[in-house]
Amino acid sequence: MRRHLLELAAASALTAFSIATAFAHASLETPTAPAGSYKAVMRIPHGCDGQATHTVRIDIPEGFVGVKPMPKSGWTIDIEKGDYARSYDLHGERVSSGVKAVIWSGGALPDQHYDEFVVRGTLAGVEKGQKLYFDTLQRCAGAEVAWTGHPADGQDPHSLDHPAPMVTIAERTADGHGHAHGAAADDMPVVAGDLEISAAWAKAMLPGQPAGGGYLTITNTGDEPDRLTAVTSPAAGAVEVHKMEVVDDVMTMRPVDGGLEIPAGGTVELKPGGMHLMFMQVAEPFRDGGRVPVTLDFEKAGKVELTLPVTRAGGAMDHSSH
Ligand SMILES: [Cu+2]
C-alpha cells in the first residue's frame, strides 16, 4: 500500500500545480474530453486591468454543437445563432446550425473575485487530439481582455499573453455496447489509501428522466473499516447511496443511513438491482458514451475523484419513478 500512497501524493501534487499555473488565464475547467456530451465551464480568474467585468462573451467553436448556456443569476444571457461549417449527427438528427456565441452581460464580477460561465453541448465530428478553441472576451467599464490567442503549429500556448481557452479531444473510452466493466478498465482500479475502486459506470438515461443510477465496486485492502460518507457530482444536484428493500412485497429503494461501511478486508459492490449511486436533479440526462465525474468522500481515505463512463449496459433498475 505504501507505493500506492506515494503515487497518489505525487498525482495530487501535480494536479495542484497545474491548477495554480492555469489559474491566471481564462480557462476551461475540463481541458480534455472525449466526443459526446461536454460541459464547458469557463473560469474567469480576474477583471480587466483591475476593473470589474460586466460582460463575458464565449464564441462557440466548430464541432461543439447543440449548445445551451446555463442561466446565471444577476446576468442577462444573449445568444447568437448561425450556420455551422458542416452538418453534424446530434442524437439521431442532422443539425447544420445552432448557437455560435453566448454573451453574459449586466453582471458585476469584481477583479479580486473569480467566477464561472457554463455552456453545455456535444462535441461532434471531432477526432482524438483535435483542439477546439473557445475565444472568450471580457468587457469592463473602460477596458477589455480578449482571450483569443491560438498557438501556431509547434508553438507553446503558454508563450501567448492571452491564449484562447481550449479543450483537447480525448479518446473515447466507453464503447457503450455491453462492455461496461471493460469500458472503465483504462483508469481502473482507482487506488486511494487502502481502498481500490473498480467497475465504475453510470447507466444511460432516457430523455426527461430526472434521476440516474451509478455503480462501482469498493475493496478495502486494509485492516480497518472505512466509510463512504458523501458523494457529489457536478452532473447532479445531489447524489445518494441507495439500497434496495422489500416493503410490503414491493421492492423500494432508500438512502443508506449514516454512510456506507466498507469492512476491513471486504468488498462492497454497487450494481444494478442492488445498492447503487442515485444521481438526482440531473440537468442533462446521462447519454451513452458520456462521462460522469464524481467525488467520493471517505472517512479515512478522504476524497477520491473518478469518472464513470456512461453506457446502456446492464441494469434491471428503473429510476424513472424518482
Ligand atoms: Cu435509487
Q: Give residue 274 CA to ligand 1 midpoint distance, Å.
A: 9
Q: Give residue 211 CA to ligand 1 midpoint distance, Å.
A: 8
State pLDDT tens for residues 224-263.
999 999 999 999 999 999 998 887 888 788 888 889 999 9
Q: Give residue 233 CA to ligand 1 midpoint distance, Å.
A: 16
Q: Give residue 246 CA to ligand 1 midpoint distance, Å.
A: 13
State pLDDT tens for residues 34-62.
888 899 999 998 888 889 999 999 999 99
Q: Give residue 224 CA to ligand 1 midpoint distance, Å.
A: 28
CA atoms of 15 and 281, how far apart (whole Å)? 29
- CB-based burial label for 107 (10 Å; 0-12, 13-18, 19+): middle
Average pLDDT value for residue range 187-213: 86
The full DSSP string for 52-120 is PEEEEEEEPPTTEEEEEEPP-TT-EEEEEEEEEEEEEEETTEEEEEEEEEEEEEEEEE-TT--EEEEEE
Can you give the pLDDT at residue 316?
39
Q: Give residue 254 CA to ligand 1 midpoint distance, Å.
A: 7
Q: Give residue 118 CA to ligand 1 midpoint distance, Å.
A: 28
- Give yes or no for a contact between 69 and 119, defined as CB atoms under 8 angstroms apart: yes
Q: Give residue 121 CA to ligand 1 midpoint distance, Å.
A: 27
The number of angstroms, rounded, from the C-alpha of 83 to the middle of its chain's C-alpha atoms is: 27
Side chain identity at residue 82, one-letter code: G
CA atoms of 260 and 35, how far apart (whole Å)? 34
Q: Specify the range with the lowest mean pLDDT, choosing from 66-75, 154-163, 273-282.
A: 154-163
- Give yes or no for a contact between 282 and 239, defined as CB atoms under 8 angstroms apart: no
**Domains of the chain, start order:** 23-170 (2.60.40.2230), 180-311 (2.60.40.1890)
Q: Give residue 277 CA to ligand 1 midpoint distance, Å.
A: 7
Q: Give residue 253 CA to ligand 1 midpoint distance, Å.
A: 5
pTM of the model: 0.50
- Give yes or no for a contact between 271 and 198, defined as CB atoms under 8 angstroms apart: no
The full DSSP string for 10-42 is HHHHHHHHHHHHHTTS-EES--EEESEEEEEEE
Q: Give residue 36 CA to ligand 1 midpoint distance, Å.
A: 25
User: Residue 294 pLDDT more than 90?
Assistant: yes
> Which cell numbers in the block locate residue 32?
480534455
Q: Give residue 231 CA to ligand 1 midpoint distance, Å.
A: 14
Q: Give residue 279 CA to ligand 1 midpoint distance, Å.
A: 8
Q: Give residue 180 CA to ligand 1 midpoint distance, Å.
A: 19
List Cα–Cα distances, 140 to 14, 92, 231, 305, in angstroms: 34, 41, 38, 36
> Which cell numbers in the block locate residue 81?
445563432
Best CA proximity match to 124, nearest among 186, 200, 61: 61
User: Residue 11 pLDDT more than 70?
Assistant: no
Residue percentage of the chain with pLDDT more than 70: 84
Q: Give residue 287 CA to ligand 1 midpoint distance, Å.
A: 18
Q: Give residue 49 CA to ligand 1 midpoint distance, Å.
A: 49
State pLDDT tens for residues 98-157.
999 999 999 999 988 889 999 999 999 898 889 999 999 999 988 899 999 998 877 877
Q: Give residue 273 CA to ligand 1 midpoint distance, Å.
A: 10
Q: Give residue 285 CA to ligand 1 midpoint distance, Å.
A: 15
Q: Give residue 228 CA to ligand 1 midpoint distance, Å.
A: 17
Q: Give residue 321 CA to ligand 1 midpoint distance, Å.
A: 9
Q: Give residue 319 CA to ligand 1 midpoint distance, Å.
A: 6
Gap between the terminal Cα atoms of the chain: 40
CA atoms of 95 and 64, how far apart (whole Å)? 12
